[in-house]
Amino acid sequence: MPRVNPCSSPLLFPFNFSTVFKMKKFNFRKVLDGLTASSPGSGSSSGSNSGGAGSGSVHPGGTAGVLREEIQESLTSDYFQICKTVRHGFPYQPTALAFDPVQKILAIGTRTGAIRILGRPGVDCHCQHESGAAVLQLQFLINEGALVSASSDDTLHLWNLRQKRPAILHSLKFNRERITYCHLPFQSKWLYVGTERGNTHIVNIESFILSGYVIMWNKAIELSTKTHPGPVVHLSDSPRDEGKLLIGYENGTVVFWDLKSKRAELRVYYDEAIHSIDWHHEGKQFMCSHSDGSLTLWNLKSPNRPFQTTVPHGKSQREGRKSEPCKPILKVEYKTCRNSEPFIIFSGGLSYDKACRRPSLTIMHGKAITVLEMDHPIVEFLTLCETPYPNEFQEPYAVAVLLEKDLIVVDLTQTNFPIFENPYPMDIHESPVTCTAYFADCPPDLILVLYSIGVKHKKQGYSSKEWPVSGGAWNLGAQTYPEIIITGHADGSIKFWDASAMTLQMLYKLKTSKVFEKQKVGDGKQACEIVEEDPFAVQMVYWCPESRVFCVSGVSAYVIIYKFSRHEITTEIVSLEVRLQCDVEDIITPEPETSPPFPDLSSQLPSSRSLSGSTNTVSSEGVTKDSIPCLSVKTRPVRMPPGYQADLVIQLVWVDGEPPQQITSLAVSSAYGIVAFGNCTGLVVVDFIQKTVLLSMGTIDLYRSSDLYQRQPRSPRKNKQFIAGLTELNDSPVPLELERCKSPTSEARENSYNRSRSSSISSIDKDSKEAVTALYFMESFARKNDSTVSPCLFVGTSLGMVLLISLNLPSSDEQRFTEPVMVLPSGTLLSLKGAVLTFSCMDRTGSLMQPPHEVWRDPNNADENEKTWKRKLVMNYSSASQETGDHQYAIICSEKQAKVFSLPSQTCLYVHNITEASFILQAEVVVMCNSACLACFCANGHIMIMSLPSLRPMLDVNYLPLTDMRIARTFCFTNEGQALYLVSPTEIQRLTYSQEMCDNIQDMLGDLFTPIETPEAQNRGFLKGLFGGSGQTFDREELFGEATAGKASRSLAQHIPGPGSIEGMKGAAGGVMGELTRARIALDERGQRLGELEEKTAGMMTSAEAFSKHAHELMLKYKDKKWYQF
């Protein structure tokens, strides 16, 4: 038997044709559409696997007809398109680092195959290898606008950086050997590639084809050597002679190879494994770092033994005895200065007996040795030098150090080696991100206000010089509205970020943990019983930018109300403790005839207000935790600096040995002065102006006689409630079914996920509690057929039920501070499938209604306190609509479907079954192009946009498969077609669903490459030119080209054209290959034109010869005739 949609059953055929024909602008097609949509046979197709192909159902007649006449929806599918915009944060799991000393841009490769390219602030580009293979090494083509990457799948890639979104021009896949090291000499088109077998191959950068010239390992070492030298760990040409190549092998062998004669000029042997090698700029000496923590300096004139051997961090031994071994020196750089001693910089090499020492970078300058301890292990470091030429004094000025979780740059020009202030948001993950919020088109003064407060708390001691990575170009572009991102963290901190114009800069940091007493060692077990670690972790935030009221809920079942002030104060923190319980054993669904519809409010309020003084209860067997919070609020006066200052702390307390359930929903109204929050036990409403609890009630008690579900008695849960994985940095994919318990909305969402898969909504609440999953304050119609709007609280539950609670506020400002606020459930019930996620309201014209708010004023301004001050409220609705009792439309979205109700009639106008096979994780009503729409992110990876109020699908894109709950916890939509999520534990990915922004994205991104003249080489002088070697006359093309070296074996490597090569063919790609391609195209076109010209010339010559022949014949014919014979 066909199933009838609940909201359509009372309106199957409520009209007659006489009524229809009297409607204005009658359209018979609309009537047929309405009949078709509302009939049982027109059920939605939302049961498809895509999860986003549901159909809207329009219920005709009455208000629906009026709605169609009054609201003209302006949004169409042409307004929407999904594309990524920019990625912020520290590259997750970094593996490689490169720097272009002329362009002054930095590249970072990662284990996931990503490359981040950084320049001046605003120049920040993310690109990804399709294979996802880890990046082993990066090499810039210095000042050429190109980058070579070597990945762990033994593939070389050539990236074109002369476009705002880099693309791969060519790839070269090695089939039989594994790549271990690459080296590209400055201003050379030949790339040296070392392999695990010990061989060295040479690749032409322009064509990305292997040369036939190969240095085999068995030719490089002596014939008498019986062991394999190991993989190639270093390659570099001699600064003195480009025709000589230094090859370092892992086992300690170094070969100085003559490229012309194809033989080893000299060999160096050492009994410790080599990790890295670096030349002195004169090309006469080179330095090696070894696995025993030693540094060896070798002279080419005496290769039999090291010229100098040092163990920088080894204990001094007696003469003749070898120094005690230390940890391996993983990398060393040997940089010379014209006016001072050379710099020797290396990582590692610490003594084994100092096990607790942190990872360090050692800087040796003359006799001074400076050890810089790092907070994280060192992945790679590079010394930034003034010149790109290896045969000149290097003049190092900074060291870029890539750590596992940070990027720092050390200033070498100052004796204390300070670090530069990093302009990039590399510290998003300073503490793991647990929640996010995104606000577009904020009040314009907020960014400046937050920055002026936050700048006072910035760290000091940075280098006074400008950030040295200053390449690229960037401008503001057309997008100029202010944007703010808020991140909540595991340590209880909150960060406000300026996200305007595709950038991200931290404005202000708030530490919520300062409200509570520090956890002492051995104490705090009560907090650990609800949360294993991070008891201050932020779970949800709610921010009203207009009133600057900020609210935080934490994992330890607390809520903090913050107010913004420019003045410092010292005051005590007001706290409330709320006992929220639901004695379900004694609850049986009340019958309307025998039971009162609602518990007496007078009996609720006094008990709630007296909770702050409750004490522990002690049983005969021991102490049973009861009426105590998880954390202790500071009782002494606290100094609060300018910025956000705690106004009220609300904590849920233990009940009969049971820890409080974590908070699943949160809403604040600055206009009403009320905060509401709920969990899987019930709902709490608090007046934060009078600091009193207005309502503390179990979810079941919120229902009056309209309870649709028969609830069975059950005992309270005895297990501990806690959210595992809220702060995990582990990025390994976990099955969604196992990860649901890690949802930010606690056990309630877990239960709702399971329930939402049930085909029968009447058999839901048999194994779990009903949680409050969504809250919303709005001026609306609290009861059916009300004539005027009034303050209301919309409450959504995990069963898909919607309740309206009426808020009776005092009429005047003076009374608001003294008279009690009455909170009464109105009895209004609406229902949807799945847990309710979000609410919103539209007026009769289809414009999105904003909740009322209070205009911000500084609560600690002495001048204002002396005067008579009144709260200034912005109600966001016209007085005419209130007086005439115009209707409004409530938009409600759950895990499964979206509905639009007409208020106050409570008629369901539209319903869209969004998904059956999956469930919605995030939903938000947003504004784009001055029109409202509903944006949803589904667990199967689909992003869906629906128009309002008709719920017509505008966009359905399979964007991102949900691999872990981090994405679900942090995905959020905002206005102007923007969204974001935490793509990795350290990075935020921003995206847009606006077609206009997708079209203009190129104008918003920075340029990675800017035309800069390559600096001229220093004059070598007559003697150096005469005796400095043959580097200036070395011709690599002649030596490595196909004519001399022949072709490489086809089975050795496979050339793969990249997607960017097509753009290069069109002239859009730059770099070495792009320039060559354009030259080839020009030559081809020129040749084609010359060919056409030659054909035309030949044709003209043929015509001229024929004309000459005919003219000659004509001349002979009439040669001897007289004039009168013609």
Supply the DSSP string of 777-828, one letter for each residue.
EEEE--STT-SS-EEEEEEEETTSEEEEEEEE--SSHHHHTTSPPEEEEEEE
CA distance 559 to 515: 11
pLDDT at res. 865: 52
Which 3 state secondary structure label does DSSP give 1044?
helix
Q: 576: exposed, middle or buried (C-beta count within 10 Å: 0-12, 13-18, 19+)?
A: buried
C-beta separation of 945 from 934 below 8 A: yes
Q: Tokens at residue 668, please?
A: 């604040």
Which residues partner with 309 through β-bridges? 296
Q: What is the DSSP letter of 326?
A: B
Per DSSP, the residues of 615-640 read --EEETTEEE--S-BSS-B--S-EEE
pLDDT at res. 120: 94
Which 3 state secondary structure label does DSSP give 691?
coil
Q: What is the DSSP letter of 316?
A: P
Q: CB neighbours of 547 closer than 8 A, spacing ≥ 6? A: 670, 671, 853, 854, 855, 856
pLDDT at res. 1102: 79
Which 3 state secondary structure label does DSSP give 138?
strand
CA distance 922 to 379: 37
CA distance 713 to 589: 9
Q: What is the DSSP letter of 585?
A: G
Phi and psi angles of residue 342, each rounded to the nearest 5 degrees, phi first: -70, 155
Is the four-CA dihedral 662, 664, 667, 673 of positive or negative sign? negative
- How many C-beta atoms surround the C-beta of residue 290 within 10 A? 24
CA distance 345 to 360: 11
Which residues partner with 506 through β-bridges? 497
Which residues partner with 351 through β-bridges? 326
Is the four-CA dihedral 1014, 1018, 1023, 1024 of positive or negative sign? negative
Which residues partner with 372 through β-bridges? 361
Q: Tokens at residue 615, please?
A: 């004490």
CA distance 1022 to 1040: 30
C-beta separation of 764 from 930 below 8 A: no
Give all strands of the β-sheet with 987-994 in edge-to-edge order. Answer: 80-89, 987-994, 978-984, 972-974
Strands 263-269 and 378-385: unpaired
CA distance 375 to 404: 9
- How many C-beta atoms surround the C-beta of residue 857 within 10 A? 15
Q: Tokens at residue 148, please?
A: 């070579």
Which 3 state secondary structure label does DSSP give 242?
coil
Strands 155-160 and 146-151: antiparallel
For residues 1047, 1048, 1050 and 1056, what is the CA-based torsion angle, rounded to 10 degrees? -90
C-beta separation of 336 from 361 below 8 A: no
CA distance 455 to 509: 10
Amino acid at 433: V
CA distance 348 to 401: 13
Q: Tabulate helix, strand, coil % of the chain (nearest 5).
A: 20, 35, 45
Distances 584 to 557, 608, 662, 747 between C-alpha atoms, Å: 21, 19, 19, 18
CA distance 521 to 525: 9
CA distance 381 to 361: 9
CA distance 85 to 83: 6
Amino acid at 90: F
CA distance 275 to 330: 5
pLDDT at res. 882: 46
Phi-psi region of 643 (alpha: psi -120 to 50; beta: other; left: phi over 0): left
Q: CB neighbours of 704 closer than 8 A, spacing ≥ 6? A: 597, 598, 825, 827
Q: Tokens at residue 435, please?
A: 């929640």
pLDDT at res. 1125: 53
The parts of the chain modelled with pLDDT lower than 50 are 1-69, 523-530, 584-622, 705, 707-725, 727-767, 866-867, 879-884, 1022-1023, 1026, 1029-1031, 1063-1074, 1123-1124
pLDDT at res. 913: 96
Which 3 state secondary structure label does DSSP give 115?
strand
pLDDT at res. 975: 95
3-state secondary structure string across 501-536? HHCCEEEEEEEHHHHECCCCCCCCHHHHCCCCCCCC
Q: CB neighbours of 612 closer than 8 A, spacing ≥ 6? A: 575, 576, 577
How far is the first Cα of the chain from the last one, in angstroms, to the nearest whole number? 109
Q: CB neighbours of 310 closer than 8 A, spacing ≥ 6? A: 294, 295
CA distance 731 to 987: 12
Q: Confirm whether pTM is higher than 0.75.
A: yes
pLDDT at res. 34: 41
Q: Which residue has the tokens 């900020």?
A: 550
Q: Which residue has the tokens 């590399």?
A: 426
